[in-house]
């Protein structure tokens, strides 16, 4: 039975090449395509889908594809226009041509004028009430009244320090950081810091990058109605320097990059303008010479300004002392007619104010200093030690230098360019977002062998370093589990074993013995 079924199966012969070609002719293909389309349409009708819906979907897909193509084309045109607007730069040296000095000068002048227009700022009113940004009127008045109480009877009770010494004979204080003494006082980074000299109540003034000025009283904890922090805004640019008036303890002097020099009367809760430099010339630092009742200010334009406190601000005299910005100015504690300046022009110079006062008021001719200390790169700052025997300079070449600056040493210098006494490797590259490192001498040690200064550090874990004026190695290092950031500005209390530190997020911390 199976054999008969197999016999009935017929084998269909394969078509010849001519037949295959005939089946795949264009007419047959087109007829089969139309049949497939018709069959698909009948299937869609049976499913309840109309041809209108199908056409709409096809049209929407075509619109989306068209929009994508147009967007891609617009982006390509934009990139092409950007390339055309900034032509390709070619090296004249590789082409064997000499650069045109005239063209270079024109570019420099254009860039300079652009920068100056960017720096144009609006100044605040000369005098205005001190209204706290973080407190209401009543809380601000209570705080200032509490701060001003008892200032007439301020006395320094500590005369001699009996402290342990390390193996090299340097006095050591065991500083500790309490997390309760870490507070946020300003909105942005700290630029300046100063202690009030009183001992019964700690008072710290802090200046920020945006022109804010904060008063912090960490020892006021017995009154819940008084906030220990009050923040004001006497400037609209960085507060470059703060100083409590030694003759008027309720007066705080401040200078700013906006060119204004102000007096904060805490008892009257008022800000008064002492001086405003012309043409938006910023003030980078200042000195108050209380014995001669005069102010010495440094500026962005490489000038020193001398102003008598008893005369009108218009009588202030400018003197061109550096080719570029003067970063700091500091007075010698013994030879008070001598000041030291640190500049962006890679030099530190010592000046005799008596010679400046006798010279003419100039704006274009550089004056001749008493001593010049050349540096490899720009100098952040230069500060005399409490005895005046040394000065410390912080340079951007990652070295700190100690110079001998006693008057007897200067008289023996023939070339007026002394070599540093110590060269200390130190990472000073803080970058753009962190305040430059500034050292601070301990005012309690006034003999050359005892003198110490503190400076921030870039190393991990974060720390503060204390150096001596007579050796390169650090003598002490301050660390804590609560100390987690770089603190560029650090100051000692004038009489107490307390250190205040400020970082670039507007926080202050207090190191206590």
- Per-residue model confidence as pLDDT tens digits over 430-477: 999 999 999 999 999 999 999 999 999 999 999 999 999 999 999 999
pLDDT number for residue 174: 95
Strand-pairing partners, residue 9, are none
User: Is the preceding omega at residue 400 within 30 degrees of 0, hence cis?
Assistant: no
pLDDT number for residue 38: 87
Residues 155 and 170: their CA atoms lie apart, in Å, by 27
Q: Indicate the pTM of the whole model.
A: 0.75
Strand-pairing partners, residue 438, are 489
The residue-averaged pLDDT of 213-235 equals 88
Q: Is residue 30 part of a domain?
A: no
Residues 419 and 202: their CA atoms lie apart, in Å, by 40
* φ, ψ at 408 (rounded to 5°): -65, -35
Q: At how many degrees (to 10) do helices 51-85 and 26-47 cross?
A: 110
CA angle 482, 485, 488 (to 5 degrees): 120
Comparing 139-153, 271-285, 371-385, which segment has the lowest mean pLDDT? 139-153
Strand-pairing partners, residue 305, are 297, 318
Secondary structure class of 169 (helix, strand, coil): coil
Report yes or no: 326 and 348 within 8 Å, Cβ to Cβ: no
Kindly list the distances between the CA atom of residue 4 and the CA atoms of 1, 11, 408, 414, in Å, as whole numbers in the listed order.
Answer: 5, 15, 135, 133
- Looking at the 3D structure of the chain, how many domains does it have? 1
Comparing 74-83, 92-101, 177-186, which segment has the lowest mean pLDDT? 92-101
* φ, ψ at 97 (rounded to 5°): -115, 155
The residue-averaged pLDDT of 112-138 equals 73
Other residues' Cβ atoms within 10 Å of the Cβ of residue 504? 21
Q: Is residue 59 part of a domain?
A: no
Comparing 19-28, 42-51, 322-331, which segment has the lowest mean pLDDT? 19-28
Q: In what side-by-side order are the strands of the sheet with 474-478?
A: 440-441, 452-456, 464-468, 474-478
Domain of residue 366, CATH code: 2.130.10.10
Quick one: what percent of the chain has pLDDT higher than 90?
57
pLDDT number for residue 136: 87
Secondary structure class of 163 (helix, strand, coil): coil
Residue 230: its H or E element: strand 229-232
In this prediction, residue 155 has a pLDDT band, given cuts at 50, 70 and 90, of low
Q: Is residue 253 part of a domain?
A: yes
In this prediction, residue 170 has a pLDDT band, given cuts at 50, 70 and 90, of confident
Secondary structure class of 156 (helix, strand, coil): coil
Comparing 52-66, 119-133, 206-220, which segment has the lowest mean pLDDT? 52-66
Comparing 40-44, 123-127, 372-376, which segment has the lowest mean pLDDT? 40-44
Q: Is residue 381 part of a domain?
A: yes
Q: Is residue 485 part of a domain?
A: no
pLDDT number for residue 30: 85
More confident residue, 324 or 25: 324
Average confidence score pLDDT of the chain: 83
pLDDT number for residue 18: 47
Q: Is the pLDDT of residue 77 over 90?
A: no
Q: Is the pLDDT of residue 226 over 80?
A: yes
pLDDT number for residue 279: 78
Rounded to a whole number of angstroms, the distance between the first and last alpha carbons of the chain is 116
Range of the domain at 212: 131-151+184-449
Residues 404 and 384: their CA atoms lie apart, in Å, by 10
CA 248 to chain centre: 31
pLDDT number for residue 31: 87
Q: Is residue 427 part of a domain?
A: yes
pLDDT digits (tens, 9 = 90+) for 487-500: 999 999 999 999 99
Q: Is the pLDDT of residue 94 over 90?
A: no
pLDDT number for residue 68: 65
pLDDT number for residue 291: 86
């Amino acid at each position: 039975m199976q054999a008969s079924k197999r016999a009935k199966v017929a084998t269909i012969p394969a078509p010849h090449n001519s037949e295959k070609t005939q089946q795949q002719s264009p007419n047959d293909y087109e007829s089969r395509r139309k049949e497939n389309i018709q069959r698909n349409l009948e299937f869609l009708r049976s499913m309840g889908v109309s041809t209108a819906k199908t056409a709409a979907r096809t049209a929407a897909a075509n619109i989306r594809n068209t929009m994508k193509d147009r967007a891609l084309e617009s982006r390509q045109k934009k990139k092409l226009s950007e390339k055309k607007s900034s032509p390709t730069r070619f090296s004249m040296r590789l082409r064997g041509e000499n650069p045109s000095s005239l063209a270079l000068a024109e570019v420099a002048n254009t860039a300079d004028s652009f920068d100056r227009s960017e720096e144009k700022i609006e100044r605040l009113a000369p005098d205005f009430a001190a209204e706290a940004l973080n407190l209401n009127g009543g809380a601000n008045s209570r705080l200032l009244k509490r701060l001003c109480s008892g200032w007439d009877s301020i006395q320094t009770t500590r005369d001699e320090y009996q402290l342990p010494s390390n193996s090299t004979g340097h006095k050591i204080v065991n500083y500790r950081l309490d997390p309760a003494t870490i507070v946020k006082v300003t909105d942005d980074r700290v630029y300046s810091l100063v202690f009030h000299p009183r001992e019964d109540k700690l008072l710290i003034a802090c200046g920020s990058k945006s022109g804010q000025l904060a008063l912090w009283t960490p020892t006021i904890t017995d009154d819940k109605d008084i906030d220990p922090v009050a923040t004001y805004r006497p400037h609209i640019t960085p507060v470059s320097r703060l100083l409590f008036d030694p003759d008027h303890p309720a007066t705080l002097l401040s200078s700013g990059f906006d060119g204004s020099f102000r007096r904060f009367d805490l008892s009257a809760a008022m800000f008064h303008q002492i001086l405003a430099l012309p043409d938006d010339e910023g003030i980078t630092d200042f000195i108050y010479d209380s014995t001669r009742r005069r102010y010495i200010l440094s500026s962005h334009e490489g000038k020193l300004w001398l102003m008598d406190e008893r005369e009108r601000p218009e009588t202030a005299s400018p003197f061109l002392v550096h080719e570029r910005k003067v970063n700091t100015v500091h007075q010698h504690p013994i030879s008070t007619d001598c000041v030291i300046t640190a500049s962006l022009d890679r030099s530190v110079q010592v000046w005799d104010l008596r010679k400046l006062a006798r010279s003419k008021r100039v704006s274009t001719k550089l004056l001749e200093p008493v001593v010049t200390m050349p540096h490899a790169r720009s100098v952040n700052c230069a500060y005399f030690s409490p005895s005046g025997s040394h000065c410390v300079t912080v340079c951007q070449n990652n070295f700190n230098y100690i110079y001998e600056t006693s008057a007897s040493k200067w008289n023996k210098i023939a070339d007026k360019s002394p070599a540093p006494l110590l060269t200390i490797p130190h990472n000073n590259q803080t970058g753009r977002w962190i305040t430059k490192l500034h050292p601070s001498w301990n005012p309690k040690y006034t003999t050359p062998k005892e003198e110490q200064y503190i400076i921030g550090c870039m190393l991990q874990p974060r720390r503060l370093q204390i150096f001596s004026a007579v050796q390169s190695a650090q003598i002490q290092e301050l660390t804590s589990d609560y100390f987690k950031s770089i603190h560029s500005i650090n100051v000692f209390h004038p009489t107490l074993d307390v250190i205040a530190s400020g970082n670039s997020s507007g926080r202050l911390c207090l190191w206590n013995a």
